[in-house]
Amino acid sequence: MTAYSLDHVTMAFGGRRRKVTALESLTLHIGEHERWGIVGESGSGKTSLLKILAGLIRPTSGVVHFLGRDLDHANREAMASLRASVQMVFQDPRSSLNPRMRISEIISEPLRSPLLKGRVDVPTNPETRVSEVLDAVGLPPDAATRFPHEFSGGQRQRIALARALAPRPRILLADEPVSSLDVSVRAHVLNLLNSLVDSMGLTLIMVTHDLAVVRHTCDHVGVLQQGILVESGKVLEVMNHPKQEYTQELLNAVPRIKESG
Amino acid sequence: MSLLDVKDLSVSFGRHRTRVLDHACLSLEPGQRLGFVGASGSGKTVLASAIMGLLPENAHVEGSIVFQGQELTALTDRVFSAIRGRNLSMVFQEPMTALDPTMKVGRQAAELIGLHRETSTMATRQRVEQIFDRVGLDHASRIADAYPHELSGGQRQRVVIAMALMNNPAMVICDEPTTALDATVQAKVLSLLDEELAGVNAACLFISHDLGLVSRICTDVAVIHAGKIVERGSAAQVFMNPQHPYTAGLVATASIDAVEPGTRLPVIEDFFDPRQEQ
Protein backbone atom coordinates (compact mmCIF):
# COMPACT_ATOMS: atom_id res chain seq x y z
CA MET A 1 0.00 0.00 0.00
CA THR A 2 1.24 3.50 -0.67
CA ALA A 3 1.65 5.60 2.44
CA TYR A 4 1.67 8.89 0.60
CA SER A 5 0.96 9.76 -2.93
CA LEU A 6 1.49 13.34 -4.03
CA ASP A 7 0.23 14.53 -7.36
CA HIS A 8 1.41 17.86 -8.78
CA VAL A 9 1.63 19.46 -5.36
CA THR A 10 2.49 23.15 -5.37
CA MET A 11 3.09 25.19 -2.27
CA ALA A 12 3.33 28.97 -2.52
CA PHE A 13 3.65 31.52 0.24
CA GLY A 14 2.97 35.24 0.22
CA GLY A 15 0.67 37.48 -1.72
CA ARG A 16 0.57 38.75 -5.26
CA ARG A 17 3.45 41.19 -4.82
CA ARG A 18 6.03 38.84 -3.44
CA LYS A 19 5.20 35.24 -4.06
CA VAL A 20 7.58 32.51 -3.00
CA THR A 21 7.06 29.07 -4.46
CA ALA A 22 8.38 26.57 -1.97
CA LEU A 23 7.33 23.49 -3.93
CA GLU A 24 6.49 23.32 -7.58
CA SER A 25 4.33 20.63 -9.14
CA LEU A 26 5.82 17.85 -7.05
CA THR A 27 4.79 14.27 -7.79
CA LEU A 28 6.01 11.56 -5.45
CA HIS A 29 4.83 8.15 -4.28
CA ILE A 30 6.01 6.75 -0.99
CA GLY A 31 5.19 3.11 -0.29
CA GLU A 32 4.59 1.71 3.16
CA HIS A 33 7.71 0.39 4.94
CA GLU A 34 9.93 2.39 2.62
CA ARG A 35 12.59 4.69 4.02
CA TRP A 36 12.87 7.97 2.21
CA GLY A 37 15.53 10.60 2.52
CA ILE A 38 14.62 14.03 1.18
CA VAL A 39 17.75 16.08 0.53
CA GLY A 40 18.43 19.64 -0.59
CA GLU A 41 19.96 22.88 0.68
CA SER A 42 18.21 25.39 2.91
CA GLY A 43 15.36 26.97 1.03
CA SER A 44 14.88 23.99 -1.29
CA GLY A 45 11.41 23.23 0.11
CA LYS A 46 12.30 20.23 2.29
CA THR A 47 10.57 21.52 5.37
CA SER A 48 7.47 22.62 3.44
CA LEU A 49 7.19 19.11 2.07
CA LEU A 50 7.51 17.61 5.52
CA LYS A 51 4.84 19.97 6.87
CA ILE A 52 2.46 18.93 4.10
CA LEU A 53 3.10 15.27 4.90
CA ALA A 54 2.44 15.96 8.57
CA GLY A 55 -0.81 17.71 7.70
CA LEU A 56 0.38 20.95 9.25
CA ILE A 57 -0.11 23.01 6.09
CA ARG A 58 -2.23 22.38 3.01
CA PRO A 59 -0.77 22.72 -0.45
CA THR A 60 -1.79 25.64 -2.66
CA SER A 61 -2.73 23.19 -5.39
CA GLY A 62 -2.40 19.50 -6.13
CA VAL A 63 -3.66 16.39 -4.40
CA VAL A 64 -2.18 14.45 -1.50
CA HIS A 65 -3.40 10.93 -0.77
CA PHE A 66 -2.63 9.39 2.59
CA LEU A 67 -3.08 5.61 2.81
CA GLY A 68 -5.37 5.80 -0.18
CA ARG A 69 -7.54 8.62 1.16
CA ASP A 70 -7.69 12.11 -0.26
CA LEU A 71 -6.08 14.37 2.30
CA ASP A 72 -8.30 17.39 1.92
CA HIS A 73 -8.62 19.32 5.14
CA ALA A 74 -12.38 19.04 4.68
CA ASN A 75 -12.00 15.28 4.77
CA ARG A 76 -12.03 14.88 8.54
CA GLU A 77 -11.74 11.14 8.48
CA ALA A 78 -8.52 11.21 6.43
CA MET A 79 -7.02 13.95 8.63
CA ALA A 80 -7.91 11.99 11.76
CA SER A 81 -6.25 8.86 10.44
CA LEU A 82 -3.17 10.90 9.47
CA ARG A 83 -2.85 12.51 12.88
CA ALA A 84 -3.36 9.18 14.60
CA SER A 85 -0.65 7.36 12.69
CA VAL A 86 2.05 9.91 11.88
CA GLN A 87 4.63 11.15 14.38
CA MET A 88 7.53 13.51 13.98
CA VAL A 89 11.04 14.02 15.35
CA PHE A 90 12.36 17.56 15.13
CA GLN A 91 15.83 18.90 14.41
CA ASP A 92 16.75 20.51 17.69
CA PRO A 93 15.91 18.56 20.85
CA ARG A 94 16.78 21.63 22.90
CA SER A 95 13.69 23.43 21.62
CA SER A 96 11.33 20.55 20.86
CA LEU A 97 11.04 19.31 24.45
CA ASN A 98 9.09 21.39 26.96
CA PRO A 99 11.64 22.35 29.65
CA ARG A 100 8.95 22.45 32.35
CA MET A 101 7.65 18.93 31.85
CA ARG A 102 9.09 15.73 33.24
CA ILE A 103 10.20 13.14 30.70
CA SER A 104 7.28 10.84 31.61
CA GLU A 105 4.81 13.65 30.86
CA ILE A 106 6.56 14.52 27.62
CA ILE A 107 6.44 10.94 26.39
CA SER A 108 2.90 10.17 27.53
CA GLU A 109 1.38 13.40 26.24
CA PRO A 110 0.68 12.08 22.71
CA LEU A 111 -1.03 9.05 24.29
CA ARG A 112 -3.63 11.32 25.85
CA SER A 113 -4.49 12.87 22.50
CA PRO A 114 -8.18 12.61 21.54
CA LEU A 115 -6.99 11.99 17.98
CA LEU A 116 -6.01 8.46 18.96
CA LYS A 117 -9.52 7.53 20.17
CA GLY A 118 -10.51 5.72 17.00
CA ARG A 119 -7.54 3.37 17.12
CA VAL A 120 -7.57 -0.03 18.79
CA ASP A 121 -3.84 -0.63 19.18
CA VAL A 122 -3.18 2.45 21.30
CA PRO A 123 -1.27 1.59 24.47
CA THR A 124 -3.75 1.82 27.33
CA ASN A 125 -1.42 2.13 30.29
CA PRO A 126 0.73 5.24 29.80
CA GLU A 127 3.15 4.33 32.58
CA THR A 128 4.09 0.96 31.17
CA ARG A 129 4.33 2.47 27.68
CA VAL A 130 6.71 5.17 28.95
CA SER A 131 9.05 2.60 30.45
CA GLU A 132 8.76 0.43 27.33
CA VAL A 133 9.82 3.20 24.95
CA LEU A 134 12.50 4.52 27.31
CA ASP A 135 13.94 1.04 27.29
CA ALA A 136 13.63 0.86 23.49
CA VAL A 137 15.67 4.05 23.04
CA GLY A 138 18.26 2.93 25.59
CA LEU A 139 17.54 5.28 28.47
CA PRO A 140 17.34 4.16 32.13
CA PRO A 141 13.83 3.89 33.70
CA ASP A 142 14.61 6.63 36.22
CA ALA A 143 14.87 9.10 33.34
CA ALA A 144 11.06 9.34 33.49
CA THR A 145 11.07 11.54 36.58
CA ARG A 146 13.72 13.96 35.34
CA PHE A 147 13.59 17.14 33.25
CA PRO A 148 15.01 17.73 29.74
CA HIS A 149 17.84 20.01 30.91
CA GLU A 150 19.38 17.12 32.81
CA PHE A 151 20.16 15.32 29.55
CA SER A 152 22.80 15.76 26.86
CA GLY A 153 21.91 16.56 23.24
CA GLY A 154 22.07 12.94 22.13
CA GLN A 155 19.96 11.77 25.06
CA ARG A 156 17.39 14.49 24.36
CA GLN A 157 17.08 13.30 20.79
CA ARG A 158 16.44 9.80 22.20
CA ILE A 159 13.66 11.28 24.34
CA ALA A 160 12.16 12.97 21.27
CA LEU A 161 12.30 9.62 19.50
CA ALA A 162 10.65 7.89 22.48
CA ARG A 163 7.84 10.44 22.43
CA ALA A 164 7.28 9.92 18.71
CA LEU A 165 7.16 6.15 19.11
CA ALA A 166 4.93 6.05 22.19
CA PRO A 167 1.56 6.01 20.34
CA ARG A 168 2.78 3.26 17.94
CA PRO A 169 2.82 5.32 14.76
CA ARG A 170 2.95 3.75 11.30
CA ILE A 171 4.88 6.60 9.82
CA LEU A 172 7.78 8.51 11.30
CA LEU A 173 8.74 11.91 9.93
CA ALA A 174 12.15 13.25 10.90
CA ASP A 175 13.43 16.76 10.24
CA GLU A 176 17.26 16.75 10.29
CA PRO A 177 17.26 14.37 13.29
CA VAL A 178 21.05 14.26 13.68
CA SER A 179 22.36 17.52 12.27
CA SER A 180 22.49 19.27 15.65
CA LEU A 181 24.46 16.41 17.17
CA ASP A 182 28.16 15.69 17.54
CA VAL A 183 29.63 13.27 15.03
CA SER A 184 30.29 10.77 17.82
CA VAL A 185 26.70 10.99 19.13
CA ARG A 186 25.27 10.90 15.62
CA ALA A 187 26.32 7.26 15.18
CA HIS A 188 24.39 6.26 18.32
CA VAL A 189 21.19 7.99 17.26
CA LEU A 190 21.38 6.66 13.69
CA ASN A 191 21.90 3.11 14.94
CA LEU A 192 18.93 3.50 17.22
CA LEU A 193 16.73 4.99 14.51
CA ASN A 194 17.67 2.20 12.12
CA SER A 195 16.95 -0.63 14.53
CA LEU A 196 13.65 0.89 15.72
CA VAL A 197 12.38 1.49 12.20
CA ASP A 198 13.32 -2.12 11.45
CA SER A 199 11.76 -3.73 14.48
CA MET A 200 8.56 -1.67 14.37
CA GLY A 201 8.13 -1.87 10.62
CA LEU A 202 7.81 1.90 10.26
CA THR A 203 7.72 4.02 7.16
CA LEU A 204 10.45 6.62 7.55
CA ILE A 205 10.59 9.97 5.81
CA MET A 206 13.68 11.92 6.76
CA VAL A 207 14.66 15.37 5.65
CA THR A 208 18.36 16.20 5.76
CA HIS A 209 21.18 17.93 3.94
CA ASP A 210 23.62 15.15 4.68
CA LEU A 211 23.73 12.57 1.89
CA ALA A 212 25.99 10.25 3.88
CA VAL A 213 23.23 9.88 6.47
CA VAL A 214 20.65 9.18 3.74
CA ARG A 215 22.86 6.58 2.12
CA HIS A 216 23.22 4.80 5.40
CA THR A 217 19.65 4.94 6.67
CA CYS A 218 17.31 5.13 3.67
CA ASP A 219 16.45 2.98 0.68
CA HIS A 220 14.93 5.77 -1.40
CA VAL A 221 16.00 9.35 -1.95
CA GLY A 222 14.41 12.47 -3.40
CA VAL A 223 16.55 15.47 -4.30
CA LEU A 224 14.92 18.88 -4.04
CA GLN A 225 16.36 21.97 -5.68
CA GLN A 226 14.51 25.24 -5.33
CA GLY A 227 11.16 23.54 -4.88
CA ILE A 228 11.54 21.12 -7.75
CA LEU A 229 12.09 17.41 -7.28
CA VAL A 230 15.03 17.07 -9.66
CA GLU A 231 15.81 13.43 -8.97
CA SER A 232 14.30 10.53 -7.08
CA GLY A 233 14.67 6.78 -6.84
CA LYS A 234 16.57 4.01 -5.07
CA VAL A 235 19.40 5.38 -2.93
CA LEU A 236 22.22 3.38 -4.45
CA GLU A 237 21.14 4.08 -8.04
CA VAL A 238 20.89 7.81 -7.44
CA MET A 239 24.12 8.02 -5.47
CA ASN A 240 26.20 5.84 -7.74
CA HIS A 241 24.85 7.29 -10.97
CA PRO A 242 23.49 10.76 -10.27
CA LYS A 243 21.73 12.15 -13.31
CA GLN A 244 21.74 15.73 -12.09
CA GLU A 245 24.74 17.96 -11.60
CA TYR A 246 23.10 19.25 -8.44
CA THR A 247 22.99 15.77 -6.90
CA GLN A 248 26.68 15.37 -7.67
CA GLU A 249 27.35 18.73 -6.03
CA LEU A 250 25.54 17.59 -2.88
CA LEU A 251 27.53 14.36 -2.91
CA ASN A 252 30.81 16.26 -3.20
CA ALA A 253 29.85 18.50 -0.31
CA VAL A 254 29.86 15.60 2.17
CA PRO A 255 32.97 16.09 4.28
CA ARG A 256 35.16 13.00 4.24
CA ILE A 257 38.46 12.26 5.80
CA LYS A 258 41.02 12.66 3.05
CA GLU A 259 42.87 9.48 2.21
CA SER A 260 46.22 11.22 2.04
CA GLY A 261 47.09 14.14 4.29
CA MET B 1 60.29 30.65 18.13
CA SER B 2 56.74 29.42 17.88
CA LEU B 3 53.91 31.79 17.11
CA LEU B 4 51.79 30.37 19.88
CA ASP B 5 52.99 28.32 22.79
CA VAL B 6 50.48 26.95 25.28
CA LYS B 7 52.12 25.26 28.26
CA ASP B 8 50.38 23.27 31.00
CA LEU B 9 47.22 25.28 30.63
CA SER B 10 44.54 24.32 33.13
CA VAL B 11 41.21 26.08 33.42
CA SER B 12 38.68 25.49 36.17
CA PHE B 13 35.40 27.14 36.98
CA GLY B 14 33.48 28.19 40.05
CA ARG B 15 33.86 27.49 43.74
CA HIS B 16 34.28 23.75 43.25
CA ARG B 17 37.02 24.40 40.73
CA THR B 18 35.55 22.04 38.18
CA ARG B 19 38.45 21.44 35.86
CA VAL B 20 37.52 21.63 32.18
CA LEU B 21 41.01 21.87 30.73
CA ASP B 22 43.79 19.81 32.24
CA HIS B 23 47.46 20.62 31.56
CA ALA B 24 46.98 21.29 27.87
CA CYS B 25 50.14 21.86 25.85
CA LEU B 26 50.27 22.86 22.22
CA SER B 27 52.25 25.07 19.91
CA LEU B 28 51.68 26.61 16.51
CA GLU B 29 54.27 27.81 14.00
CA PRO B 30 53.57 30.80 11.74
CA GLY B 31 51.18 29.76 8.98
CA GLN B 32 50.56 26.34 10.50
CA ARG B 33 47.02 24.97 10.70
CA LEU B 34 46.06 22.83 13.64
CA GLY B 35 42.72 21.03 13.88
CA PHE B 36 41.45 20.76 17.43
CA VAL B 37 39.03 17.86 17.64
CA GLY B 38 36.80 16.59 20.42
CA ALA B 39 33.19 15.93 21.43
CA SER B 40 30.97 18.67 22.85
CA GLY B 41 31.93 19.44 26.42
CA SER B 42 35.52 18.27 25.96
CA GLY B 43 37.00 21.73 26.51
CA LYS B 44 37.62 22.88 22.93
CA THR B 45 35.85 26.20 23.22
CA VAL B 46 37.35 26.88 26.65
CA LEU B 47 40.83 26.63 25.14
CA ALA B 48 39.85 29.04 22.36
CA SER B 49 38.35 31.47 24.86
CA ALA B 50 41.46 31.24 27.03
CA ILE B 51 43.73 32.13 24.12
CA MET B 52 41.44 34.98 23.08
CA GLY B 53 41.24 36.26 26.65
CA LEU B 54 37.48 35.85 26.64
CA LEU B 55 37.02 33.56 29.64
CA PRO B 56 34.36 34.61 32.14
CA GLU B 57 35.32 36.14 35.50
CA ASN B 58 34.81 32.96 37.48
CA ALA B 59 37.45 31.03 35.53
CA HIS B 60 40.74 30.12 37.19
CA VAL B 61 43.61 29.88 34.76
CA GLU B 62 46.92 28.17 35.47
CA GLY B 63 49.83 27.70 33.08
CA SER B 64 50.99 29.95 30.32
CA ILE B 65 49.96 31.11 26.87
CA VAL B 66 52.72 32.84 24.91
CA PHE B 67 51.74 34.49 21.66
CA GLN B 68 54.39 36.25 19.56
CA GLY B 69 56.68 36.23 22.55
CA GLN B 70 54.12 37.84 24.84
CA GLU B 71 52.56 36.13 27.86
CA LEU B 72 48.80 36.51 27.39
CA THR B 73 47.46 35.22 30.71
CA ALA B 74 48.88 38.17 32.64
CA LEU B 75 47.66 40.91 30.30
CA THR B 76 45.17 43.51 31.36
CA ASP B 77 42.05 43.93 29.26
CA ARG B 78 43.30 47.21 27.87
CA VAL B 79 46.56 45.76 26.57
CA PHE B 80 44.82 42.64 25.32
CA SER B 81 42.31 44.58 23.27
CA ALA B 82 45.16 45.95 21.16
CA ILE B 83 46.06 42.38 20.15
CA ARG B 84 42.57 40.93 19.88
CA GLY B 85 41.09 41.54 16.45
CA ARG B 86 44.44 42.61 15.09
CA ASN B 87 47.13 39.95 15.45
CA LEU B 88 44.76 37.37 16.85
CA SER B 89 41.22 37.03 15.61
CA MET B 90 38.35 34.60 15.80
CA VAL B 91 35.57 33.20 13.63
CA PHE B 92 32.65 32.22 15.81
CA GLN B 93 30.30 29.29 15.43
CA GLU B 94 27.00 31.04 15.02
CA PRO B 95 27.19 34.10 12.73
CA MET B 96 23.79 35.34 13.88
CA THR B 97 25.00 35.82 17.45
CA ALA B 98 28.53 36.92 16.51
CA LEU B 99 27.18 39.94 14.65
CA ASP B 100 25.38 42.85 16.27
CA PRO B 101 21.79 42.69 14.97
CA THR B 102 21.25 46.46 15.31
CA MET B 103 24.24 47.55 13.23
CA LYS B 104 24.84 47.39 9.50
CA VAL B 105 27.54 44.83 8.77
CA GLY B 106 29.70 47.35 6.90
CA ARG B 107 29.84 49.52 10.00
CA GLN B 108 30.68 46.55 12.21
CA ALA B 109 33.57 45.66 9.93
CA ALA B 110 34.71 49.30 9.76
CA GLU B 111 34.74 49.48 13.54
CA LEU B 112 37.33 46.73 13.55
CA ILE B 113 39.67 48.74 11.35
CA GLY B 114 39.06 51.97 13.24
CA LEU B 115 39.95 50.36 16.56
CA HIS B 116 43.41 49.39 15.42
CA ARG B 117 44.43 52.00 12.86
CA GLU B 118 43.89 55.63 12.10
CA THR B 119 42.32 55.90 8.69
CA SER B 120 39.84 58.17 7.00
CA THR B 121 36.20 57.15 6.74
CA MET B 122 36.54 56.90 2.98
CA ALA B 123 39.57 54.64 3.09
CA THR B 124 37.95 52.41 5.70
CA ARG B 125 34.82 52.02 3.64
CA GLN B 126 36.92 51.15 0.60
CA ARG B 127 38.84 48.56 2.57
CA VAL B 128 35.58 47.01 3.85
CA GLU B 129 34.10 46.75 0.36
CA GLN B 130 37.37 45.39 -0.97
CA ILE B 131 37.53 42.60 1.59
CA PHE B 132 33.81 41.80 1.26
CA ASP B 133 34.43 41.42 -2.42
CA ARG B 134 37.40 39.17 -1.75
CA VAL B 135 35.40 36.74 0.40
CA GLY B 136 32.97 36.25 -2.45
CA LEU B 137 30.16 38.56 -1.39
CA ASP B 138 28.64 39.89 -4.60
CA HIS B 139 27.50 43.53 -4.57
CA ALA B 140 29.84 44.32 -1.67
CA SER B 141 28.53 47.83 -1.20
CA ARG B 142 24.92 46.67 -0.94
CA ILE B 143 25.91 43.95 1.55
CA ALA B 144 27.84 46.47 3.64
CA ASP B 145 24.63 48.49 4.01
CA ALA B 146 22.60 45.48 5.09
CA TYR B 147 21.69 44.39 8.62
CA PRO B 148 22.69 40.83 9.62
CA HIS B 149 19.09 39.55 9.46
CA GLU B 150 18.86 40.60 5.80
CA LEU B 151 21.66 38.20 4.86
CA SER B 152 21.62 34.42 4.45
CA GLY B 153 23.56 32.16 6.81
CA GLY B 154 26.36 31.68 4.28
CA GLN B 155 26.62 35.42 3.61
CA ARG B 156 26.74 36.15 7.33
CA GLN B 157 29.54 33.66 7.87
CA ARG B 158 31.44 35.23 4.97
CA VAL B 159 31.08 38.60 6.70
CA VAL B 160 32.42 37.11 9.94
CA ILE B 161 35.38 35.59 8.07
CA ALA B 162 36.03 38.91 6.31
CA MET B 163 36.08 40.64 9.68
CA ALA B 164 38.48 38.09 11.14
CA LEU B 165 40.89 38.64 8.24
CA MET B 166 40.44 42.41 8.10
CA ASN B 167 43.66 43.34 9.88
CA ASN B 168 45.84 40.58 8.39
CA PRO B 169 46.13 38.63 11.65
CA ALA B 170 48.99 36.27 12.42
CA MET B 171 46.54 33.73 13.76
CA VAL B 172 42.83 33.01 13.37
CA ILE B 173 40.87 30.80 15.72
CA CYS B 174 37.87 29.17 14.03
CA ASP B 175 35.34 27.70 16.46
CA GLU B 176 33.14 25.28 14.49
CA PRO B 177 32.79 27.89 11.74
CA THR B 178 30.40 25.90 9.55
CA THR B 179 28.11 23.93 11.86
CA ALA B 180 25.29 26.43 11.33
CA LEU B 181 25.47 26.01 7.55
CA ASP B 182 24.17 23.32 5.24
CA ALA B 183 26.39 20.97 3.26
CA THR B 184 26.91 22.84 -0.02
CA VAL B 185 27.34 26.24 1.67
CA GLN B 186 29.69 24.61 4.15
CA ALA B 187 31.88 23.33 1.33
CA LYS B 188 32.05 26.79 -0.24
CA VAL B 189 32.82 28.57 3.03
CA LEU B 190 35.54 26.02 3.82
CA SER B 191 37.35 26.49 0.53
CA LEU B 192 37.08 30.26 1.00
CA LEU B 193 38.62 29.97 4.45
CA ASP B 194 41.35 27.77 3.01
CA GLU B 195 42.26 30.33 0.31
CA GLU B 196 42.06 33.36 2.56
CA LEU B 197 44.21 31.85 5.30
CA ALA B 198 46.81 30.96 2.69
CA GLY B 199 46.51 34.46 1.21
CA VAL B 200 47.56 36.25 4.41
CA ASN B 201 49.67 33.29 5.60
CA ALA B 202 47.82 33.21 8.90
CA ALA B 203 48.15 30.33 11.32
CA CYS B 204 44.86 28.71 12.25
CA LEU B 205 43.45 26.83 15.20
CA PHE B 206 40.43 25.07 13.72
CA ILE B 207 38.03 23.72 16.31
CA SER B 208 35.55 21.07 15.22
CA HIS B 209 33.97 17.77 16.13
CA ASP B 210 33.99 16.71 12.50
CA LEU B 211 37.17 14.99 11.34
CA GLY B 212 36.12 15.27 7.70
CA LEU B 213 36.16 19.07 7.93
CA VAL B 214 39.45 19.14 9.79
CA SER B 215 41.15 16.99 7.17
CA ARG B 216 40.10 19.48 4.48
CA ILE B 217 41.69 22.47 6.18
CA CYS B 218 44.45 21.35 8.52
CA THR B 219 47.88 19.80 8.27
CA ASP B 220 48.07 18.89 11.95
CA VAL B 221 45.57 17.59 14.46
CA ALA B 222 45.23 17.54 18.23
CA VAL B 223 42.53 15.41 19.85
CA ILE B 224 41.03 16.42 23.16
CA HIS B 225 38.97 14.22 25.45
CA ALA B 226 37.54 15.31 28.80
CA GLY B 227 39.88 18.29 29.05
CA LYS B 228 43.04 16.38 28.19
CA ILE B 229 44.88 16.38 24.89
CA VAL B 230 45.17 12.67 24.15
CA GLU B 231 46.89 12.73 20.77
CA ARG B 232 48.78 15.13 18.57
CA GLY B 233 50.37 14.68 15.15
CA SER B 234 50.12 15.31 11.44
CA ALA B 235 46.62 14.91 10.01
CA ALA B 236 47.64 11.97 7.82
CA GLN B 237 49.28 10.15 10.69
CA VAL B 238 46.46 10.73 13.20
CA PHE B 239 43.69 9.75 10.79
CA MET B 240 45.38 6.81 9.12
CA ASN B 241 47.12 5.41 12.15
CA PRO B 242 45.49 6.67 15.34
CA GLN B 243 47.41 5.79 18.49
CA HIS B 244 44.87 6.56 21.19
CA PRO B 245 41.71 4.40 21.26
CA TYR B 246 39.52 7.52 21.57
CA THR B 247 40.97 8.88 18.33
CA ALA B 248 40.39 5.51 16.65
CA GLY B 249 36.75 5.74 17.74
CA LEU B 250 36.40 9.27 16.38
CA VAL B 251 37.86 8.27 13.03
CA ALA B 252 35.50 5.29 12.78
CA THR B 253 32.36 7.29 13.65
CA ALA B 254 33.26 10.00 11.14
CA SER B 255 33.45 7.59 8.23
CA ILE B 256 29.78 6.69 7.63
CA ASP B 257 30.68 6.00 4.01
CA ALA B 258 32.90 3.09 4.96
CA VAL B 259 30.00 1.20 6.56
CA GLU B 260 27.62 -1.06 4.64
CA PRO B 261 24.31 0.86 4.44
CA GLY B 262 21.72 -0.22 6.99
CA THR B 263 24.19 -2.04 9.20
CA ARG B 264 25.23 -0.86 12.61
CA LEU B 265 27.55 2.15 12.69
CA PRO B 266 30.60 1.93 14.92
CA VAL B 267 30.44 4.11 18.03
CA ILE B 268 33.22 5.52 20.21
CA GLU B 269 32.48 3.05 23.00
CA ASP B 270 33.48 0.16 20.69
CA PHE B 271 37.03 1.47 20.88
CA PHE B 272 37.28 3.32 24.10
CA ASP B 273 35.70 2.96 27.52
CA PRO B 274 35.94 6.31 29.33
CA ARG B 275 35.67 4.61 32.74
CA GLN B 276 38.65 2.38 32.06
CA GLU B 277 40.75 5.43 31.36
CA GLN B 278 40.31 6.88 34.85
What digits encode the pLDDT tens for the residues B63-93? 999 999 999 998 888 899 889 988 999 998 8
CA torsion angle for B157, B160, B166, B172 (degrees, to 10)?
-90
* Weakest mean pLDDT among A128-132, A205-209, B113-117, B248-252: B113-117
Winning range, highest mean pLDDT, from A26-30, A78-82, B135-139, B211-215: A26-30
pLDDT at B278 over 70: no
Domain C-terminal end among B111, B145, B166: B166
pLDDT on residue B262 = 81
Q: What is the mean pLDDT of residues B37-65?
A: 90
With H, G, I as helix, E, B as strand and everything else as coil, classify residue B172.
Answer: strand
Q: What is the mean pLDDT of residues B3-24?
A: 92
In angstroms, the Cα distances linking A121 to A84, A88, A167, B14, B276 are: 11, 19, 9, 52, 45
pLDDT on residue A261 = 39
**Four-way CATH pick for A2-96+171-252: 3.30.420.130, 1.10.357.10, 3.40.50.300, 3.90.420.10:** 3.40.50.300
Residues 52-111 of A with CB under 8 A from B: none
Q: Which residues of A touch B185 (CB under 8 A)?
A: 41-42
CB atoms inside a 10 Å sphere around CB B185 = 21
pLDDT at A122 over 60: yes
| Dist. CA B231–CA B244, nearest whole Å | 7
- Listing from the earlier edge strand, what are the strands of the sheet with A171-175? A86-89, A171-175, A203-208, A35-39, A220-225, A228-234
The answer to whether residues B175 and B82 belong to one domain is yes
| Identity of the residue in A184, A209, A252 whose CB atom sits nearest the CB atom of B39 | A184
Q: Identify the band that residue B276 occupies on the pLDDT scale cut at 50, 70 and 90.
A: low
pLDDT, one tens digit per residue, over A223-244 is 999 999 999 999 999 999 999 9
The answer to whether residues B172 and B265 belong to one domain is yes
pLDDT on residue B275 = 66
| Dist. CA A79–CA A73, nearest whole Å | 7
Q: What is the mean pLDDT of residues A182-201?
A: 89
Please report, for chain A, the start and end positions of each structural domain, with discontinuous segments joined by +.
2-96+171-252
pLDDT at A20 over 90: no
| Dist. CA A55–CA A143, nearest whole Å | 31
CATH of the domain at B206: 3.40.50.300
| Identity of the residue in B213, B234, B261 whose CB atom sits nearest the CB atom of A255 | B213
Residue A210 or B128, more confident = B128
The answer to whether residues B184 and B218 belong to one domain is yes
**How distant is the Cα of A210 from the closest Cα of chain B, in angstroms?**
7
DSSP class of residue B148 equals G
Judged by a CB distance cut-off of 8 A, whether residue A175 touches chain B is no
pLDDT, one tens digit per residue, over B106-154 is 999 999 888 888 888 889 999 999 989 888 888 899 999 999 999 988 8
Query: What are the two backbone dihedrals, phi and then psi, of residue A166, each rounded to the nearest 5 degrees?
Result: -55, -50
The answer to whether residues B211 and B171 belong to one domain is yes
Contact A182 B40 (CB under 8 A): yes
Q: What is the mean pLDDT of residues A138-147?
A: 93
Question: For a pLDDT cut of 70, what percent of chain A falls above it?
Answer: 97
CA Rg, chain B, in Å? Answer: 19
Contact A257 B39 (CB under 8 A): no
**How distant is the Cα of A38 from the closest Cα of chain B, in angstroms?**
14
Domain C-terminal end among B166, B195, B214: B166
pLDDT on residue B112 = 87
Judged by a CB distance cut-off of 8 A, whether residue B96 touches chain A is no
The answer to whether residues B101 and B192 belong to one domain is no
Q: Which residues of B touch A215 (CB under 8 A)?
A: 256-257, 261
CA angle A137, A143, A148 (to 5 degrees): 95
Q: Which residues of A touch B259 (CB under 8 A)?
A: 216
Q: Which residues of B touch A258 (CB under 8 A)?
A: 215-216, 235, 239
pLDDT on residue A203 = 96
The answer to whether residues B197 and B213 belong to one domain is yes
pLDDT on residue A105 = 95
Contact A213 B256 (CB under 8 A): yes
Give the CB-side neighbour count of residue B95, counting CA atoms within 13 A: 26
The answer to whether residues B48 and B157 belong to one domain is no
The torsion region of residue A8 among left (phi > 0), alpha (psi -120 to 50) and beta comes to: left
pLDDT at B277 over 60: no
Q: Identify the band that residue B257 occupies on the pLDDT scale cut at 50, 70 and 90.
A: confident
**Contact indicator for A47, A95 with CB cutoff of 8 Å:** no
Q: Which residue is closest to A217 within chain B, CA to CA?
A: B262
pLDDT at B209 over 90: no
Q: What is the mean pLDDT of residues A18-42?
A: 92
The answer to whether residues B181 and B265 belong to one domain is yes
The ipTM estimated for the assembled molecules is 0.77
pLDDT on residue A17 = 77
The answer to whether residues B143 and B262 belong to one domain is no
Mean pLDDT of chain B: 89
pLDDT, one tens digit per residue, over B157-170 is 899 999 998 888 99
The torsion region of residue A36 among left (phi > 0), alpha (psi -120 to 50) and beta comes to: beta
Q: How buried is A46 (Cβ within 10 angstroms: 0-12 exposed, 13-18 middle, 19+ buried)?
A: buried
Residues 220-259 of A with CB under 8 A from B: 235-236, 249-250, 252-258
pLDDT on residue B125 = 92
Question: For a pLDDT cut of 70, what percent of chain B falls above it?
Answer: 98
The answer to whether residues B143 and B200 belong to one domain is no
Residue ranges making up the domain that contains B11: 4-87+167-277
Contact A211 B183 (CB under 8 A): yes
Domain C-terminal end among B102, B134, B166: B166
pLDDT at A130 over 90: yes
Contact B262 A209 (CB under 8 A): no
**Contact indicator for A8, A23 with CB cutoff of 8 Å:** no
pLDDT at A246 over 60: yes
The number of distinct structural domains making up chain B is: 2
